[in-house]
Amino acid sequence: MSPVIIAGSSHPGMALSIAQALGAKVLFPVVEKFPDGETHVVAPSINGTVVYVQTMHPYPNEMLMEMEFTADLLKELGAERIVAVVPYLAYTRQDTRHMDGEGIAVKTMLRMLEKAGVNDIVSVDLHLHRLGLQELSGMTSIRIHEVSAVDALAKESGRYLKKPVVVGPDAESERWAKRAAELLDSHYDVLEKNRISPTEIEIRPKTLDVKGQDVLIIDDIVSTGDTIKKVVESLRAKGANKIAAAFTHGVLSGEDAAAGLYRAGATYLISTNTINNEFSRVDVGPVIAQKLKEIL
């Protein structure tokens, strides 16, 4: 029996995509704000397993509170298991205490969701640069499942680029670059930084010659775009042909983030719909649905 899909207010289209892939029913609770800003949720009574879909952008604090209220309400109304699909899981960058007194926000967030009644979290390309999935899972009793958008991003990029060299902007992105290169029957490289002065950094390919070749830059998240901008500029300086920047989570904060990437020389920007913007060309609903089939 297919689970019932419950749509959070942040991404009802994602809930619908997952429901269609599963052949499941999707329900849309009423989520509104009182005049003083309080969140008010009205949800249906559901027994058994519920899949609750809520991404955490563009307002992670508000989305987290809505998740808290909705998960707790669903448990009160009869849900026995809540699988929270959170395509973009915020706070994962706050995973380590760098200075005395600093909070580890991801741990606090997971504890809050655990207390509200969430049993599983399914997310896409988690930002696991310092911690592994096992270490993140060790912070909570919630079962955390990760799926990747790299296959879909590589396929979409292949529509625009001819056998591109795949580039990861840093060591942490190597797992995505390697996989994309395999799918595109190409080669990959991971960039290295060379500090020229206290204020100037050069980013360059370690091994591959990109002159005259199409290039695919692939990463999990682009926030301000500053790092990718430097990568694009470096590749342009080395004679690259078409350059596509593909990323799972297109935060692109700041009015000039996307324009800055084009200005630096990017030909295409490609992201998934974990975050809705004009570059969300790849729907991750089907890959999430496949993971749900495995764990439900």
Q: Which residues are catalytic?
A: 193
The residues facing 147 across adjacent strands are 124
> What phi and psi values does residue 251 have, to the nearest 5 degrees?
-65, -50
Q: Which run of H or E residues covers position 134?
A: helix 133-137
Compute the 3-state secondary structure of the chain and give helix, strand, coil in percent, each to the nearest 5: 35, 25, 40
For the beta carbon of residue 206, count every other beta carbon within 10 angstroms. 9
- Tell me if residue 286 falls in helix, strand or coil: helix
CB 234 within 8 A of CB 191: yes
Q: What is the DSSP string of 213-275?
A: S-EEEEEEEESSSHHHHHHHHHHHHTT--SEEEEEEEE---STTHHHHHHHHT-SEEEEETTS
Can you tell me the distance from the alpha carbon of 132 to that of 42, in angstroms, rounded to the nearest whole number?
36
| Bridge pairing between strands 39-42 and 30-33 | antiparallel
Can you tell me the distance from the alpha carbon of 75 to that of 77, in angstroms, rounded to the nearest whole number?
5
Can you tell me the distance from the alpha carbon of 159 to that of 241, in angstroms, rounded to the nearest whole number?
15
| Tokens at 56, concatenated | 């955490």
| Tokens at 58, concatenated | 């563009």
